Amino acid sequence: MALFHAFPNQKSRMLCPRKKKPNLAKCTAIAVPSMKGHGYLDYTIENHTSKAFEKMDELRRNNILCDVLLRVSYNGKEEDFHVHKIVLASCSPFFRAMFTNNFRECHAREVPIKDICPKVMQRLIEFAYTSRITVGEKCVLHVLLAAMRYVMEDVAKACSDFLVKHLDASNVIGISNFAEQIGCIELYRKGREYINTHFNEVTNEEEFLSLSHCELLDLVSQDSLNVLCESEVYNACLKWMQWDLKNRAEYFHVLLNAVHIYSLPAKFLEIQLKKCPILSKENRCRVYLSKIFQEMCLHKPLPRPKQRGNQLIYVAGGYLQNSLNSMDAFNPQTGEWLKLADMLEPRSGLGACIVSGLFYAVGGRNNSCQENTDSDLLRIFNPVTNQWTSRAPMNAARNRVGVAEIDGAIYAVGGSCGSEHHKSVEKYDPENDRWTFVASLAIARIGAGVVECRGCLYVVGGFDGETRWNTVDCYNPEEDQWQSVSSMETIRSGAGVVALDNYLYAIGGYDGTNQLDSVERYNIERNYWEGMAPMKHRRSAHGVTVHQGKIYALGGFNAGGFLSSVERYCPDRNEWTEVTEMPIGCSGMGVAVTMEPCLQIHDNNEEE
């Protein structure tokens, strides 16, 4: 056979059989990465999506493959934007519905957009393609409104977060009202939180003074307002009326119904009735306030005052091997403890009370390795600023002192200085920052329970250095006289004593042999004591207070050592329940209830 074949007019060449293109339909061999046939390829390019959107944005800017034109008109201005429907639909449920639900815009090449500034629409379109938005402070509200309209949640959240960071007393009312109108719930909630927390500052701004009477009524009706004293709410209403007295005086009575009048100090009401020019002209309001003031002066049983805001239980100082300088607050709603500013010096055996929302820490002792000094000091903690300040010291140092407040004045009863046990009593006037002596006790007392009820001061039990007592004395500040009332059934020193619903409760204490878990209650009207349910634990030198109609017993000491447990008593069920543990076990602390501290929700100086 010939190996070569001559082609006409061409050089001879070698012939090779040509490979045929494989027919994949008839191919029986399958190539796999693994002999077992279980392998697979999984490959991801992390920035593929961003690169793709960069290209799509480039196409948009060059009007390539765009399938719709948005004709945006606002205040006579008009601007066109060429976009891709699929991009807008992917990040906005509004546009997705517009372009997919058989609306006329589905097939339209041109869609009119009204009542939105072209610059704002440009920002939203750029965000849809780039996931980035840059907005000037003056434009944020407009962008937020558009983002809410077109359901662009990420943009709305970014605008909302920005505005929350820049809330202040001068703009918070306007921003929160705007947020409510457009349905931006989180911004509205944060705005109301700011108003509640900074109410006193907000009332000094023009936005507050420009409120309608309905808006003001809605604001001051909120029990969530965080104020030191109800007088702040009353004064805010007066300030609002004085801004336009001619047209606003008629709303005074309506606003008074929103003020918690029974929470106002009697002395404050007295001053208003004497000096307030609006009350002198508004007879109906004057009669209403006069009636309540008379009830207070006669010390009639009054409705339990309604509390504004969230009230916390504050615990100052105490003793655990050494005197403590700590200040903590317990939130019964959340079960959480807050660490607050330390006292200016360590103290145990101190007394505590609240006047106009401020926490007063009185006397005590600095018992440490370096010193053992009884204290005459008066310190004030302001929950708004989280700061301590000093006021005039007492005339005598008083450890294990009993303290209570009557009509805005603080009474410090008994206590000890070194080996001397006091029967003297001092009264502090916060307005004049001065202590004066009043009528003394018949016998010296330390570790006595001291409490105010219906305008009188009650001193329960205690220790005179030799004898522990079950006696009870009652002080009338109007007459500056003491008288004895019915004695307790049990001898108690270091007991916790509180007043609730016109009863006195004597809780725990020490009888000279044992710490006590027993509780007894004094009926003021009938002048007798009766036993109540005992606590879960024996305690003396513990803290007690009343919070929202329940009694709390905190810490203290017994044969087992220092206690950290906290119990709560329900008078309706006559039952104690353990509710929490203190940060540390201790005794001899000052305990009282006032408003939640105003911790900043953001830092206005934060870098952006």
The answer to the question of residue 199 being in a domain is no
583 shares its domain with 552:
yes
259 shares its domain with 119:
no
Q: What is the CATH number of the domain that holds 462?
A: 2.120.10.80
Amino acid, single-letter form, for residue 144: L
What pLDDT does 427 receive? 98
Q: Largest Cα–Cα distance of the chain, in whole Å?
A: 147
Q: How many CB atoms lie within 10 A of CB 238?
A: 17
- CA-based angle 438:439:441, to the nearest 5? 125
Q: 558 has which bridge partners?
A: 561
Query: Cα separation of 6 and 377, whole Å?
Result: 126
User: How many H-runs (helices) and E-runs (strands) does the chain carry?
Assistant: 17, 35
In 64-152, where does DSSP find H-type helix?
85-91, 93-100, 118-130, 140-149
Beta strands 402-406 and 409-413: pairing type? antiparallel
Domain encompassing residue 268: 211-297
Measure CA of the first residue to CA of the last residue in the chain; give whole Å. 90
315 shares its domain with 437:
yes
289 shares its domain with 318:
no
- Note the residue count of the chain: 608
What pLDDT digit, counting tens, does each position of 363-415 carry?
A: 999 998 888 999 999 999 999 999 999 999 999 999 999 999 999 999 999 99
Residue of 512, 440, 421 lying closest to 481 (CA atoms): 440
* Six-digit token string for 141: 């509200």
SS3 595: strand
Q: What are the angstrom distances between the C-alpha of 380 and each of 356, 365, 388, 406? A: 11, 17, 5, 17
The answer to the question of residue 203 being in a domain is no
Q: What is the CATH number of the domain that holds 250?
A: 1.25.40.420
SS3 132: coil
Q: Are 377 and 351 in contact (CB under 8 A)?
A: no
SS3 172: helix
DSSP string of 403-469, one letter each residue: EEEETTEEEEE--EETTEEP--EEEEETTTTEEEEEPPPSS--BS-EEEEETTEEEEEEEE-SS-EE
159 shares its domain with 223:
no
317 shares its domain with 268:
no
Query: Cα separation of 99 and 106, whole Å?
Result: 4
Domain boundary among the residues 143, 166, 189 is at: 166
For helices 140-149 and 153-165, angle between their N-to-C axes, nearest 10 degrees? 150
Q: What are phi and psi of 205, to 5 degrees?
A: -100, 155
Residue of 522, 520, 496, 500 lying closest to 509 (CA atoms): 496
Query: Cα separation of 177 and 303, whole Å?
Result: 34
414 shares its domain with 510:
yes
Residue of 582, 552, 541 lying closest to 564 (CA atoms): 582
Query: Cα separation of 464 and 462, whole Å?
Result: 7
Q: What is the CATH number of the domain that holds 54?
A: 3.30.710.10
The answer to the question of residue 247 being in a domain is yes
589 shares its domain with 500:
yes
The answer to the question of residue 600 being in a domain is no
What pLDDT does 17 receive? 58
The answer to the question of residue 606 being in a domain is no
Domain boundary among the residues 245, 263, 297 is at: 297
Residue with tokens 């878990």: 517
Domain boundary among the residues 166, 189, 224 is at: 166
What pLDDT does 317 receive? 98
353 shares its domain with 463:
yes
Q: Which residues of 146-175 are buried (b: 16+ CB within 10 A; e: fewer)?
A: bbbbbebeebbebbbebbbebbebebbbeb
489 shares its domain with 394:
yes
The answer to the question of residue 351 being in a domain is yes
SS3 182: helix
What pLDDT does 15 receive? 53
The answer to the question of residue 261 being in a domain is yes
The answer to the question of residue 24 being in a domain is no
Domain count for the chain: 3
Residue of 177, 274, 285 lying closest to 241 (CA atoms): 285
User: pLDDT below 70 — which residues of the chain?
Assistant: 1-37, 599-608
pTM, rounded to two decimals: 0.82
541 shares its domain with 394:
yes
293 shares its domain with 323:
no
What pLDDT does 69 receive? 94
